[in-house]
Chain A
């Protein structure tokens, strides 16, 4: 069966520090991968998605970047964190069977709660 792992679960970082959040998927190949953020009082917002190694699409302009160095690894990064980067970050995957916009459900990790001081 497929599983998705995110770490760390909780992170407290000072303003201006770098960030690296990692997500890995097991039990499937060539998944579509996503990073979402859930800010306090707001809905989940798609940040990045990837259809393959090295392919990243950004949904909103921001202080963050994403990379996909391996098929089942998705990394969210920042060079200098801002207070507004605080939130709950969720990684998700879906099967790429049938194409990018295939009607496959998205499956989510347990998330990383990021607090910026």
Chain B
């Protein structure tokens, strides 16, 4: 059974810093990996999706990488801003059984 782990569980950094969020998964037979953002009490906003054949995806200040063979992904946030404060979720798709999520990294950017 697929398991997804996110480290750290919580992170607090000053504004302007670059930071890395980590995600690992136990079964490398995935179709894709998706990073989401969740604001308190809200639904999920999709940030980036990496296909299993891809190594990375970029959107603005966000860059996500995927090393399928080692079961790892990272989300890099450049020049962090207070508006980036949220919980970031990593999820992998094994196909017909939908997405398997990690528990998330709670990120606080201090002004």
A residues with a Cβ closer than 8 A to B are 6, 34, 36, 42-46, 49, 57, 59, 90, 92, 100-101, 103, 105-111, 113
Flag the segment in B14-22, B58-66, B98-106 that touches A.
B98-106
* A101, B96: Cβ atoms closer than 8 Å: yes
Decide: A43 and B98 in contact? CB cutoff 8 A: no
Within residues 1 to 58 of chain B, which ones have a CB less than 8 A from any CB in chain A? 4, 31-32, 34, 36, 41-46, 49, 51-52
Please give the distance in Å from B103's CB to the nearest CB on chain A.
4
CA of A40 to CA of B69, assembled, Å: 32
Sample 8 A-B pairs with CB under 8 A, ordered by A number.
A43-B102, A101-B31, A105-B46, A106-B99, A108-B45, A110-B43, A111-B42, A113-B41
Expressed in whole angstroms, the Cα–Cα distance for A107 and B31 within the complex equals 17
Chain B interface residue count: which class?
20 to 34
Write out the residue numbers on chain A whose beta carbons fall within 8 Å of the beta carbon of B45: 108
* Chain A facing B: main interface SS: strand
Tell me the chain B residues, 58-96 only, with Cβ under 8 Å from chain A: 89, 91, 93, 95-96
* A100 proximity list for chain B (CB < 8 A): 95-96
Count of CB-CB pairs between chains A and B under 8 Å? 61
Q: What's the least CB distance linking A25 to chain B, in Å? A: 13
By a CB distance below 8 angstroms, the chain A residues around B49 are 103, 105
Given contacts A43-B4, A103-B32, A105-B46, contact A34 B98 (CB under 8 A): yes
Chain A residues within 8 Å of B96, by CB: 57, 100-101
Other-chain contact of A103, B46, B51, B99, B104 (Cβ < 8 Å): B51
A108–B98 CB distance below 8 A: no
Nearest CB of chain A from residue B8's CB, rounded to whole Å:
15
Q: Is the CB of A43 within 8 A of B95?
A: no
| B44 adjacent to A90 (CB under 8 Å) | yes
